[in-house]
Structure 1
Amino acid sequence: MEYGLVLVWGFAYLVLGAIALPLAARLFGSTARGAGFTLPLVFAALGLGGFLLGTIPGLFGLPAAVVVVAGLAAASYRFGAEVDLRAAAGPAVVFLLGFAFVVLLRAFDPGVAPLGGEKFLDFGLLRSLLRTDTLPPEDMWFANELIQYYYGGHVIAALLTELLSTAPRYAYNLALAGFYGTAVSTVYGLAAMVADDAGYSPVAAGALSAFFLGIASNLYTATQFVGWLLPDGLARTLATGLGLGSQAVSEFVAWSPGDFYYWSASRLIDGAITEFPLFAYLNGDLHAHMMDVPLLLLVAGLLYAYWRTPAEELRRRRLLGLGLVPPIAGYIGVVNTWSLPTAALGLPFLVYALAPAAPRSLLTGAVPEQPAETDARLRAEGVRFGAALLLAGATTLLALAWTAPFWLGSASSRPIGFLPDRTGVGELLLVHGGFLAAFVAYYLTRGRDLDSRRSRAAVAGTLVLVAVGVAVGAPALALVAPLVLGGWLLLRTESAGYETLLVVAGAGIVVLVEFVYIAEPQSPDSRLNTVFKLYAQVWALWAPAAGLALVRLAGLVRERASVPTPGRRTAIAGRVLLVVLVVTTGLYGALAVPSHLDAASPTANERGPTLDATAFVEIRHAEEAPAIEYISRLEGQPTIVTAAPAGYRWNPSDGNGASAPASLTGVPTVAGWYHERQYRSPEAYEQRVTDVLDIYTGEPATQQRLIEQYDVRYIYVGPTERAKYGDITVSALDSVEQIERGDVTIYRVTSGE
């Protein structure tokens, strides 16, 4: 176990956070309010600054990291406020606990093995970025072409790796732990700030929110426990009622705690992925939908600061809404393009429309008065809505402008599909039921403050949504859409807090994916990725909302706070609900974490605890390890040739090599994973697959032409290539020399040197 590296990275994260602490304190009003946002500010500055510098040839890498960190320190000094380190202790402790937790998980399962996720993609992106001095990097799976994928999170990881002079095989897992620690400490800080302003316990709100983001799961494991306790007949009825397929029903009925498998809860909707943060970190992908969470929460925090700023402070509101949100939201698009609409359009629109200050004041500079007449109020609401939409559109355009090199280069487009298969009632309850229980209870208690007219409107609207949902076969309209309607009414009457806006934002996304999705070229009718990537955002928004709602329901007020508290019965019911939700959503982690740390588990590392992401290669693929190490030591990004097509499996005897020499080193191969069919086109990818076949088995003239066409410098012939292509004729070429490494022959092209 590399304890020294753990200490270095943990200390470095704290130092970087301390550098940004004065700036965060200035932006959010005090050290206590800003402490949870320091590392997201660092990530935003490091990523966006490194990205913009990196688009200038030769400026990406360590110089960029040093320049950005120095600039951040200067900005903190210039615009900073007084700092109270004791007030920053809470988020720092939460970060360290989260960082240590994932370090422990990864020490027992450090490998970037290709099957069971996309770790080869993530590690390959990290290695590719560490090999280049200009952005975007060359695509490791499509040599001589620039990458067509969002890579902003990997830019942050690469710059941290360079800054701390760490080998990539260790940096992968240490960066992963850092993103988790930052996510839970940021959600802690956001919830604590909102709760403190409302007079409720910031520690309780922050801790609950961190739990729901970093530890809680959906309700599938809790439901399995219920089925296990029931007679088989009732268990079968329960499983059938939840909409599980026939095979899943049989597995559900026969399940016992000894059969627990961490993967099952991530595939609850037919044709879609239902991951949640703990699953993602157990699985260990350094993936976009995980790395954007701290930045998305930072945007939510900045918009809350805008929300709380008085209407008269136009300069500060403009700085927060139009000055700071666009560049961060834009970079979120580089980290995870799926989150750009939420960060740049959805959240800003809701905040502009629902915040106490009228949005048009940002445009005109004048603060309008609230009209008294009903007709005038309706017109004012229309103006407010239109101004909010205009400002959100401007925020989106500014976000795109800040990161224009990405949209003009690496971004790829997908067609929009409509009316996919609907999610069933049981599926919605399994995935979102824990959150929905908290929000429905919260809405019912907050709704008591509505006058009779608005209460009737809320009931009538809910009934209409339920009726329409039943009529068109869209259960989300009946179960989730009322949260949007009710939340809007509560917020416009100032009967609820910022947590309600987060509920509305997440509910809007859940409803949206029932009607609109991004079609993938390989499966145009599938919304697998749409549900996957957008539900990840829902979890990030609903975790702090749930923590804040439950604190209010349970009446956990801040010491000496003079705020209205729920009645005794309501508080007792709220605390019971809090305990029930913590237990039911925590069961997954209680089983998954010990099983993950079990040395006998399928994911265990045979060498014992280590953070070496490539240690498994020497054990499971010893015959190729020396050759991959040779490729890894090459300078720059020379083109190699490996077996194609390639995908999730590295089984050389079957002719499947997962493009391991490219994926593990960042050295580009002519045709890598079949993901390139989606990134490019099926025709372009298949042409390269055919060309690779000809390079290995074709006539000398054809081989030489293709070697020159793709500027090939190395041809890799290992167990996979021999099993796949049989009679390989590369050795007959006059323009190559053989290099033997383990059970691999590498042919180095000597012509054209």
Structure 2
Amino acid sequence: MEYGLVLLWLATVAGLAAIAAPLASFVFAPLSDRGGTLALPFALAAVGVVSYLVGQVAFGWPALIASLVVLGGGSAFALSRDHEPDWESVGLGLAAVAVGFALVVAIRNADPGIYAGGGEKFLDFGLLKSLVRAESLPPEDFWYAGDRVQYYYGGHLIAAQLTRLTGIAPRYAYNLALATFFGALVGAAFGLARNLAAERDLPRTVAGALALFFVGFASNLAPVARLVVWLLPSSMKTYIDENPAAQDGPEAVRAFGHTWTDLALGPDQFYYWPASRVIPNTINEFPLFAFLNGDLHAHMMSTPLLLVTAAVGFAYWLTPAAQVWRRRAYVFVCAPLLAGLLAVVNTWSYPSVAGLTTLAVLFAGAHPASLLPASVWERLDPATDSRAVSEILRMLGAGVAGIAVGLLGALVAFPFFTGATSGQSLALLPGRSGASGLLLVHGAFLLVSAAFLAPRIEPDLEPDLGMVAPLTVLAAVAVANAIGGWIPVPLVLVGGGGLLAVTQVEADERGPAALLFLLAIGVTVAATGTFGAPFGALGVYGATVVVAVGAAVAGFDTDTQIVALAIAAFLVLAAAAIAVDLAILAVVFPVLALGWMTLRLGRDLGYETVLLVAAVGLVTMVEFIYVSERAGSGRYNTVFKFYMQVWVLWGTAAGVMLVDVVARQWPDWSIGERLAARRSASGQRAGQVASVGLAVVLVVSLSVYGGLALSGHFETNDANTLDSKAWAEGTYPDQSAAIEWLDDREGRPVVVEQPTREHVYGINSPSTQLVSGVSSMTGLPTIAGWTHASNYHTEAGWQERVGEVRTVYTGNSTARAEVLATYDVQYIYVGPHERQHQTVDDLAAEPYISVAERFGDVVIYEVDRSALGTANRSR
């Protein structure tokens, strides 16, 4: 390992965090540690924003110096305003970063290579190299010469600036940047969870450590389930043992991404890949898988920045209503800047910034309408005395704030959006996830969330018993209709019965109750055209049944009410799930609804529940809407990119929620004190054992993947270097030498090489083709690179360029000269890949082409562009 480079890089990023710490303490002043633990992720965000904006004019050192000036000047201003950082927290945050950094450095030191198979490392390294070479933004597309890069490149921009700041060669910087983003991710999860726990008076460092584990090391439940199957007695695995060639088997087995046969293979047959392919036709990555796989990819580099966005929302949450200018700054300055940055880093995260801001503003103590000018708020404030009006204004105000963040963020990212030609469109109702897949991917976090929320369901409202009889009759009619095949019964009658029940609610609660009741009915009836009449009827019946049950049990004790209402709601959701084949309604949506409800009812919850609602909301969203694009069929890529965000947000919240679950059972732990008097000694002991047992079982079971995957990785790989090109130099010595010679050329000369006509993701071996090796490993533009580029430009345009490359190698002299002049080509590369696909002419026979260098069977030709111009004129 290159220890000197590692220490230099780590010292540089630590210094960057130290420079940014005072400014972070100013921005995150409401947090318990004043943003100390978030100093490095905040610094990366600042470097990204400033470098992107300044880079539109001058990238490289000018943009980097501007970033350092902004950080240094901002910190000087913060210190002048007595915003001294909590240096102990800064150190603690950097220690958390170092844990993640060291893990990925060790992983990449064992296997540092940039391979064409198993991911998108060629794309990622090419982007890094092109940005190191770029003089302004956007960079030229190294796989599509003459055109701007169409892919989101903001994370690679930050990596390029760190590369420039340290002076370390990109071949090493690729792996060090990967380790930095992972360190920043787990550091941000640790820091945010620690602050969330501090606000709730929970053990904050324990919460931070659990969040670091859930986000950075835990896996989904698929490896655990496979291990359980393997451990089953032989008598229970007869089918598997006796049918080695059996088909995939039932859906519950296919959800593992395996057949019956290999599902029961032991740990010695473990492979890290299948855990990321649980739900059919989707990708279900989590951070440990992604960083172990080793791509320096957009959906990974955006994760620490997403948590910085969440921290901004938390700062808004904590800011008193009277500090209106600070709250406005969070919504209209900080959030839009982060939204614009994330649009360039990973466009899939851009709408999440608006969503997170909307939820933070909606659920915070300060009314969203107070963000309006004082004169407007003074006129609206009296109207908020009505609960119904206040709720409507709250939702409208939060929605407007979210829209403003989206629009202002788009303005920040305007240069990026104006150059994108995505060929993407929104589509509805994709293929749906089965219950087994949802439980395997999200089951651990669902369990923590349920344990966290369940004790907080304590209804305050008691509907009048006067409506019990008619509503019970209506409920019976609803059940009869469901069993009898939806016998026509006027839905108006049923809905009217529900409204009558609403009138029995306490006077100041009738408005919100009626609004929610009508909203439930309206949404389901509106969806009748898509899902069919049963679904519309079910919405009306279900809403009425819930109201009826609430009225029927109003006279009973609170626990009975809780159980009855929970059962009614779950049965309605289960019926809806069956009616429309949507497992999401029964498995995940109840947690979303419960989190939303308890937040609005003020059930001793904190911002961790906002993160929970955001995460579960994203899980629910991708069951109904997806982005149709060329990069993957159906919702393949949509689930992929949003599930990573889900994991990061939910995992951070889970660290705090699990500490809360345990703390509620222990009298000497903060919130546990006020619960102790309500429980018997035996009940308290049982709760303590159960809560600690839950935590231990979760941590152990979710560590199975990490233990097996990492041990297998280190047993299989022992490169002992961070040089990402070392494998290519050993496997393709002549080609690598030629590529390095081209890499040493000044500027961005255009090089012709053979395009790669097929995707090669599925092969993860150093022996894969060195496809598009020149452009990918140097960042130098080529006429047509990997077919991947056709996804971001156009298929027709890429195919036309493929034909032009063929003309260079095999066409007539006139056509060849025209292509070379059109793209201002300076070098032509001829190696094994070119000879495999083309019958290469004697290019040196052209008067304007000469041999520049030979490296074994690789020849590099140089184009004399002045002679080329003369040749063209002579024709």
TM-score grouping bracket, smaller chain normalisation: over 0.9
Taking the aligned partners of 1:27 and 1:247, their CA distance within structure 2 comes to 45
1:50 positional shift = 0.6
1:137 positional shift = 0.5
Taking the aligned partners of 1:671 and 1:232, their CA distance within structure 2 comes to 55
Match of 2:363 in 1: 354
Match of 1:528 in 2: 636
- The C-alpha deviation readout for 1:246-286, integer Å capped at 9, x for no partner, is 98223444411000101111111211111110001101111
Match of 1:719 in 2: 832
Aligned positions of 1:425-504 closer than 5 A: 425-448=435-458, 460-495=568-603, 496-504=605-613
Aligned positions of 1:196-207 closer than 5 A: 196-207=198-209
Paired AA for residue 155 in structure 1: L
Taking the aligned partners of 2:283 and 2:235, their CA distance within structure 1 comes to 29
Contact 1:647–1:659, Cα closer than 8 Å, also in 2: no
1:562 positional shift = 6.3
- The C-alpha deviation readout for 1:627-651, integer Å capped at 9, x for no partner, is 0111111111111111123455499
Taking the aligned partners of 1:413 and 1:301, their CA distance within structure 2 comes to 33
Match of 2:28 in 1: 28
1:472 positional shift = 0.6
1:610 to 706, 710, 721: 721
Match of 1:333 in 2: 343
1:369 positional shift = 5.9
1:580 to 697, 700, 717: 697
Aligned pair in 2 of structure 1 residues 354, 262: CA closer, same or farther (>3 Å)?
Answer: same
Contact 2:577–2:583, Cα closer than 8 Å, also in 1: yes
- The C-alpha deviation readout for 1:361-385, integer Å capped at 9, x for no partner, is 1014347769898xx3122211211
Aligned positions of 1:67-466 closer than 5 A: 67-80=66-79, 81-231=83-233, 234=236, 240=250, 242-244=252-254, 248-343=258-353, 345-365=354-374, 366=377, 376-410=386-420, 412-448=422-458, 460-466=568-574
For the pair 1:516 / 2:625, whether they are aligned, the reply is: yes
Taking the aligned partners of 2:261 and 2:850, their CA distance within structure 1 comes to 56
Match of 2:710 in 1: 593
For the pair 1:622 / 2:721, whether they are aligned, the reply is: no
Aligned pair in 2 of structure 1 residues 64, 253: CA closer, same or farther (>3 Å)?
Answer: closer
Paired AA for residue 52 in structure 2: F
Contact 2:727–2:766, Cα closer than 8 Å, also in 1: no
Taking the aligned partners of 2:355 and 2:574, their CA distance within structure 1 comes to 24
Taking the aligned partners of 1:543 and 1:356, their CA distance within structure 2 comes to 24
Taking the aligned partners of 1:335 and 1:97, their CA distance within structure 2 comes to 24
Contact 2:40–2:94, Cα closer than 8 Å, also in 1: no
Aligned pair in 2 of structure 1 residues 243, 250: CA closer, same or farther (>3 Å)?
Answer: closer
- The C-alpha deviation readout for 1:329-373, integer Å capped at 9, x for no partner, is 210111000000001x21111111111111011014347769898
Structure number with greater Rg is 2
Secondary structure in 2 aligned to 1:728?
coil
Taking the aligned partners of 1:558 and 1:479, their CA distance within structure 2 comes to 33
Contact 1:646–1:659, Cα closer than 8 Å, also in 2: no
Paired AA for residue 705 in structure 2: Y
Contact 1:646–1:658, Cα closer than 8 Å, also in 2: no
For the pair 1:550 / 2:658, whether they are aligned, the reply is: yes
Contact 2:253–2:260, Cα closer than 8 Å, also in 1: no
Match of 2:506 in 1: none
Taking the aligned partners of 1:451 and 1:183, their CA distance within structure 2 comes to 42
Aligned positions of 1:655-694 closer than 5 A: 657-694=770-807
1:457 positional shift = 6.2
1:540 positional shift = 0.8
For the pair 1:748 / 2:859, whether they are aligned, the reply is: no
Paired AA for residue 85 in structure 2: V
For the pair 1:42 / 2:156, whether they are aligned, the reply is: no
Contact 1:718–1:744, Cα closer than 8 Å, also in 2: yes
Paired AA for residue 816 in structure 2: Q
Secondary structure in 2 aligned to 1:248?
coil
Taking the aligned partners of 1:668 and 1:204, their CA distance within structure 2 comes to 49
Contact 2:202–2:671, Cα closer than 8 Å, also in 1: no
| Number of residue pairs aligned between Structure 1 and Structure 2 | 741
1:83 positional shift = 2.9
Match of 1:732 in 2: 845
Contact 1:150–1:411, Cα closer than 8 Å, also in 2: no
Paired AA for residue 219 in structure 1: L
1:64 positional shift = 1.4
- Percent identity, aligned pairs only? 41
- The C-alpha deviation readout for 1:591-610, integer Å capped at 9, x for no partner, is 11111112xx2xx35xx311
Taking the aligned partners of 1:565 and 1:674, their CA distance within structure 2 comes to 63
Taking the aligned partners of 1:653 and 1:129, their CA distance within structure 2 comes to 25
Paired AA for residue 346 in structure 1: G
- The C-alpha deviation readout for 1:572-616, integer Å capped at 9, x for no partner, is 322211111111111000111111112xx2xx35xx311111111
- The C-alpha deviation readout for 1:283-313, integer Å capped at 9, x for no partner, is 1111111111111101111111111112122
Secondary structure in 1 aligned to 2:866?
coil
Paired AA for residue 9 in structure 1: W
Contact 1:31–1:82, Cα closer than 8 Å, also in 2: no
2:809 to 696, 703, 708: 696
Taking the aligned partners of 1:459 and 1:247, their CA distance within structure 2 comes to 33
1:233 positional shift = 6.7
Aligned pair in 2 of structure 1 residues 93, 511: CA closer, same or farther (>3 Å)?
Answer: same
Taking the aligned partners of 1:249 and 1:413, their CA distance within structure 2 comes to 36
Taking the aligned partners of 1:231 and 1:728, their CA distance within structure 2 comes to 66
Taking the aligned partners of 1:302 and 1:87, their CA distance within structure 2 comes to 18
Taking the aligned partners of 1:397 and 1:253, their CA distance within structure 2 comes to 48
Secondary structure in 2 aligned to 1:637?
coil
Taking the aligned partners of 1:562 and 1:506, their CA distance within structure 2 comes to 25
Taking the aligned partners of 1:326 and 1:55, their CA distance within structure 2 comes to 18
- Larger mean CA deviation between 88-97 and 156-165 belongs to 88-97
Pairwise CA RMSD: 2.5
- Larger mean CA deviation between 382-391 and 641-650 belongs to 641-650
Contact 1:623–1:742, Cα closer than 8 Å, also in 2: yes
- The C-alpha deviation readout for 1:656-678, integer Å capped at 9, x for no partner, is 54201110000011111111221
Secondary structure in 2 aligned to 1:745?
strand
Taking the aligned partners of 1:481 and 1:55, their CA distance within structure 2 comes to 43
Secondary structure in 2 aligned to 1:216?
coil
Taking the aligned partners of 1:742 and 1:563, their CA distance within structure 2 comes to 74
Gaps of 5+ in 2: 241-247, 464-549, 551-561, 677-683, 868-875
Match of 2:687 in 1: 570
Taking the aligned partners of 1:44 and 1:462, their CA distance within structure 2 comes to 42
Contact 1:646–1:657, Cα closer than 8 Å, also in 2: no
Aligned pair in 2 of structure 1 residues 151, 654: CA closer, same or farther (>3 Å)?
Answer: closer
Secondary structure in 2 aligned to 1:640?
strand
Aligned pair in 2 of structure 1 residues 324, 245: CA closer, same or farther (>3 Å)?
Answer: closer
Aligned pair in 2 of structure 1 residues 357, 654: CA closer, same or farther (>3 Å)?
Answer: closer
Contact 2:219–2:705, Cα closer than 8 Å, also in 1: yes
